[in-house]
Amino acid sequence: MQAYVVSPEDWNFFLDGLMKAGAVVGPCRRRDQPRFHHFDHLDHALDLTLDYVTTTMPPKKFFFPTQETLFSFTVNGPAEIDRVGETTPFTLIGVHPCDLEAIDALDSAYSYPPAEKRWAANRNRAVIIGVDCMPDEYCFCTTMGTSGSRKTCDLFLTPIDGAYLIEAHTLTGARLLEANPKGPVQARHVAEREHWRKEKIARTTASLAAPIANFADILERGGLTPIWEEVASRCYSCGSCNITCPTCFCFDVHDEFDLTLAAGARRRSWDSCQLLEFALVAGGHNFRAERWQRVKHRWHRKFLYLYRRLGRPYCTGCGRCSRACTADINIVDVSNQLISYSQNGGRNA
C-alpha cells in the first residue's frame, strides 16, 4: 500500500481534477436541514463536507437506487425488452469505514448465486474514496469490528494536523494520485493516524454486551418472546430502520402497464421487512402478521441468518437505524436487553 500526505492545496487540486474528469458524489450539508448530511452529486467542490458524523441515508443508493426501472416492454408484435441501466462512471468520495464495510457486505450478498448483475454493474462504475471519522453516541462500529475497515475503497483519507494522510488501496487509486502533488509520509504522520484510530475507539461508547458469535447463539436458542413483544409495543412498523440501513438489501418488484395494455415497465424499489405487507403472499396468508414477529425477524436477519450463511453480521454498527427511529428503539439497547434476558435465564436484569 502506498501512502502520501496531501496538503489542503494538494487536496483541492486533486478534487478539482476529479470534478473536471467526471461525476463526483460526496457528503454535503442538506440545504433544507443544514445540521444533517447526505450523499449527493457535487456541483461545487466547496459543497463537499468531509468532517460529518453520518448521513441519513447510506451511500448504497448510488449502486442500488431507491426506485428504478429494470426494463420496459412492448407487446405489439414480438415482445421487445429495453433494459435500462446507468453506465456513467463516477467517484464516490467521503465514505466512512462502516459504510465501506457495508458496501463489501452487499457485494457478498448480491454475488451469492444467482448474482445480482445490476449491483455488480453499478459497483464497477465507481471509484471509492474513504475517509476516517469520529463517532457519536449511536455509533458502535468498534464492537462490530468495522471501525478500521478499508474494504472496497481505492483511496482512504485520515485527517492529520491540517492535511490528509492518503492511502492507495488499489491500482486505480494509485493511478489517480500519480499526477497529483503530494508529500512523503513521515513518522509523525503515522503517529497522528494512530492517534486518530485510538481516539476514535476511546470515543465510541456504545457497544454490544456479547461477541457476535455468542449473540447469534442467544438468538438461535430463542425464548426471547417477552422482549420481542415489549419492543413491538413501541414499534410503529414504519420501516425507517431498514430504509436507512447500509446493509439491508431487500426490494420489491412490480410491473406497470400503460392504459392500452400494449406496453409497460418492470420496476423495483427498496422494501422493508418491518412493513405489514412484506411477508404477505397470494391467498392472503401473512407469515409475519404480528409486529413482534417482524421485530424478531429484523434481529435474526442482522445477527443470525446472514451471519450463519455469509459469515458476517449484516450490521456495521453505523447507528442509522437508532437515529432514525421515532420510537427511540435503539439497536444496541435492544440487543443488550436480549443478551441480558438470556443470560439471566429468561428474566429481565
Residues that bind ligand SF4 (CB under 6 A): 235-241, 244-247, 274, 302, 315-321, 324-325, 327, 329, 331
Q: Are the C-beta atoms of 288 and 279 separated by less than 8 Å?
A: yes
Identity of the residue, 218 or 245, whose beta carbon is nearer to ligand SF4 in the bound complex = 245
- Compute the CA torsion angle 185, 189, 193, 196 (nearest 10 deg): -160
Identity of the residue, 6 or 144, whose beta carbon is nearer to ligand SF4 in the bound complex = 144
Taking the complex as a whole, the smallest distance from the CB of residue 137 to ligand SF4 amounts, in Å, to: 13
Taking the complex as a whole, the smallest distance from the CB of residue 299 to ligand SF4 amounts, in Å, to: 9
CB within 8 Å of 32: residues ≥ 6 apart: none
The tally of CA atoms less than 13 A away on the side-chain side of residue 150 is: 13
Identity of the residue, 91 or 274, whose beta carbon is nearer to ligand SF4 in the bound complex = 274
Identity of the residue, 158 or 240, whose beta carbon is nearer to ligand SF4 in the bound complex = 240
CB within 8 Å of 51: residues ≥ 6 apart: 159
Taking the complex as a whole, the smallest distance from the CB of residue 139 to ligand SF4 amounts, in Å, to: 8
Identity of the residue, 288 or 302, whose beta carbon is nearer to ligand SF4 in the bound complex = 302
Taking the complex as a whole, the smallest distance from the CB of residue 81 to ligand SF4 amounts, in Å, to: 35
What residues pair up with 40 in beta bridges, in sequence order? 26
- Compute the CA torsion angle 69, 71, 74, 80 (nearest 10 deg): 170
Spatial distance between the Cα atoms of 301 and 321, rounded to a whole number of angstroms: 14
Taking the complex as a whole, the smallest distance from the CB of residue 253 to ligand SF4 amounts, in Å, to: 22
